[in-house]
Amino acid sequence: MARFFAKHLLFLLFTLLVVSFLVFTLNEFSPGAVARKILGAYATQEQVDVLTKQMGLDRPVLVRYVEYLGGLASGDLGYSARFKLPVREVIFKHLANTVLLAAIAFACIVPLSTLLGVVAGMRESSRVDRVILMFSTVVASIPEFALGVFLASVFVVWLGWLPGTATLVAGGGWSVAAQLVLPVTVVVLFDSGYVVSMIRASMVEVMQRPYIRTAVLKGLPFRAVILRHALRNAMLTPITVIMLQINYLVAGVVVVETVFAYPGFGRMILEAALFKDIALIEAGALVAVFLAVLTNILGDIAYVLLDPRIRA
């Protein structure tokens, strides 16, 4: 187990190093560009040159990269040109908002898709299975922004039950809870479509195993066969997929955040990218990759916990 963790930790550090270097070199491709991006199009070339020298941007990329790493190690992520605040403050504020959205969505996605996936997969090609399979396929096929527009046109425009934006500032007579309903619903629907199909496929496969037939022939009630024999084994493969959804929920929900003007992490990176706020892009990319690799490791750990054969 110790070796398992050490190996994964090493991979995490290695990935972070590679990605930070790639993003760093991509961002700082041309030496003058950084200063130009900060000063804007109307600054004179002289001003740009002065700032380039001041920030030490005329030195080789490799030297600056090592300096940047040193800053990271001491917790200094740089200064955001877009928000005029230290990057650390900006990132954590937006990350906290997205984690709220992600946590609620995750708490809905896991039970919902497990239920649908297991019910569909336990009797392959039954009518229930066909209906659930079609539902999950169609729901996973609708882009998040389209899903947002469809739901908003019904619940905001037509019925007027919910607010169309989720700025997390209670205003216009809508509570924060009401604001969260639509973004969470869009994320849950889009994402569970995919997770349901994974769990269903795994369940279908497990139901064809000899030990399930034995359990049925032994005369066990169908419910006991499903709950005690099939469920645990059917969750083995999808558990890694489920863990990877955390990654999508935190970093990949840019579109949903944009639809509902939600002040989250993904939209922050979009703004940083459009504004060419380099320090913020670099830090944001690192946080995103850190989360991605971490959820990968969590997935592996969950797999090991569920499968006693590997645990030994």
Contact residues: another protein, CB under 8 A? 11, 15, 18-19, 23, 26-27, 29, 133-134, 137-138, 140-146, 148-150, 152-153, 156-157, 164, 247-248, 251-252, 254-255, 258-259, 266, 269-270, 273-274, 276, 281, 284-285, 288-289, 292-293, 296
Fill in the amino acid letter for 155: F
CB nearer another protein, residue 181 or residue 220: 181
Distance of alpha carbon 5 from alpha carbon 219, whole angstroms = 43
User: What H or E segment, with its residue span, contains residue 80?
Assistant: strand 79-80
Q: What is the closest distance, in whole angstroms, from the C-beta atom of residue 175 to another protein in the complex?
A: 20
Shortest spacing between CB 269 and another protein, in angstroms: 6
Nearer of residues 180 and 281 to another protein, judged by Cβ: 281
| 174 or 220: CB nearest another protein | 174
Q: Answer for the pair 303, 236: CB distance below 8 angstroms, yes or no.
A: yes
Contacts of 273 (CB under 8 A, 6+ apart): 281
CA distance 75 to 68: 11
Nearest CB to another protein, comparing residues 128 and 227: 128
Tell me whether residue 21 or residue 79 sits nearer to another protein (CB atom).
Answer: 21
Residue 242's identity, in one-letter code, is: I
3 state DSSP class of 162: coil
Instruction: Find where tokens 């030297």 sit.
Output: 63
Alpha-helical runs (H) found in 56-162: 61-73, 87-122, 127-141, 144-152
Q: How far is the CB of 29 from another protein (least distance, A)?
A: 7
Main-chain phi, psi angles of 76, to 5 degrees: -100, 110
CB of 218 to another protein, least distance (A): 28
According to DSSP, residue 86 is labeled E
DSSP code at position 57: T
What is the nearest approach in angstroms of another protein to the Cβ of residue 13?
12
Smallest distance from another protein to CB 303, Å: 16
Q: Is the Cβ of residue 19 or residue 180 nearer to another protein in the bound state? A: 19
